[in-house]
Amino acid sequence: MTYLDHAATTPMLPEAAAALTGALSTVGNASSLHTSGRRARRAVEEARESIAASLGARPSEVVFTSGGTEADNLAIKGVHWGRRGKKRLLIGAIEHHAVLDAADWLGEHAGAEVTFLEVDDFGRVHDDTMRAAIAENPDDVSLVSVMWANNEVGTVNPVRELAETCAEFGIPFHTDAVQAVGSLPVDFAHSNASALTVSGHKVGGPYGVGALLLGRDVACVPLAHGGGQERDVRSGTLDVPAIVALAAAIRVATAERAERALELEQLRDELVRRVLAAVPGAVLNGDPGQTHMDGGPSRLPGNAHLSFPGCEGDSLLMLLDARGIECSTGSACTAGVAQPSHVLLGMGVDPKPARGSLRFSLGHTSTRSDVDALAAAIGPVVERAQNAGLAGLRRGEF
């Protein structure tokens, strides 16, 4: 099996797996006062301190959640509600649906006015675009949310610049850093963001756990009410084994980030070169990745997103899968939805080529043999998909 879908989920790191299995044998609710409860609480607080140290935050700023989706929802809804009387939300046009749909819900059910910030052809939000949107009515903006790096095309945003502009106007800035942690130099304090989303299974940790880094001075209304855990903004019994494993994954991923990123960049560049050689008409989407931004690359080191003219992405995916190669047509959260990627459409790509796109994402288990397998298969697969498309046109199916 050739696994090229690390952006959807990456295999658990050995250190995280060991931490998880070790913690599973213990007992104790972290909110209990007896010995087992205090032991569980100590494990949680040590994990909190470890994550904070790895990501440039204070331990009190780490709020544990069930994953990236909950953390995004808590940031978008909770911070918006916390800014009482302010109606305007400014959201990047090609955010993950956990952000987009949360903002849309506020627009439909809570009277919010949502403005989507346009991106350039690479998928990047520029500071002047955001400034112009703020200037329309700066006193009524509750929150700005722009992802650190796009989950589909891998383009990195100027997060620190955007956050500093928001700080000028006293506006909280949230960034979904799910794809960035472990791949880019992520430092919460340095970024000047007010809130930042992390997900366990994207960084080599377990499913179903994540965190929202939330500044201590940022008002946030809870989505769920109960025991008042996690600064009283996220109630619920803490999943101690998952939290311990999350901390281990983040610790290892950030410690090895620079070396691994260099390896992945080289492997990705070879993948792109060989795919383009096998399919000359293919197009690389997103930032080319040849420049740097705020100490890191302008594209995620393991991301290669390409369009294949005359093909349907789902057909390509299934043909590759039949050959033992696993990749994605975009976000795994919207897999199976027969429509062009909102990310590519937001970047100005026409719907037809947008439907014929694939994301190949590399991670800590990727090797040159994975690239070899894809390079050998992609030419025949694209030819077969194109022939199928032409036959469908002749039959009037498209």
Active site positions, annotated:
333
What is the chain's length? 398
Distance CA 37, CA 279 (A): 59
As a whole number of angstroms, the distance between CA 44 and CA 117 comes to 37
Alpha carbon distance 237, 274 (integer Å): 49
Q: What SS3 state is found at 106? A: helix
* Cα-Cα end-to-end distance for the chain: 33
Q: Which residue, 159, 168, 224, is CA-closest to 189?
A: 159
- Distances, alpha carbon 153 to alpha carbons 28, 96, 181, 286, in Å: 42, 12, 16, 5
Question: Rounded CA gap, 289 and 154, in Å?
Answer: 9
Which 8-state DSSP code applies to residue 339? S
Non-local (6+) Cβ contacts of 48 within 8 A are 59, 62, 64, 243, 247
Q: Which two tokens stand for residue 263?
A: 């390896």
Q: At what angle do helices 257-278 and 368-394 cross, to 10 degrees?
A: 40
How far apart CA 232 and CA 169 sit, in angstroms, is: 27
- Contact present, 6 and 302 (Cβ < 8 Å): yes
- Note the Cα 77 to chain centre separation in Å: 18
CA-derived radius of gyration, the chain: 21
Enumerate the β-bridge partners of residue 143: 89
Contact 75, 174 (CB under 8 A): yes
HSE-CB for 217 with a 13 A CA cutoff = 8
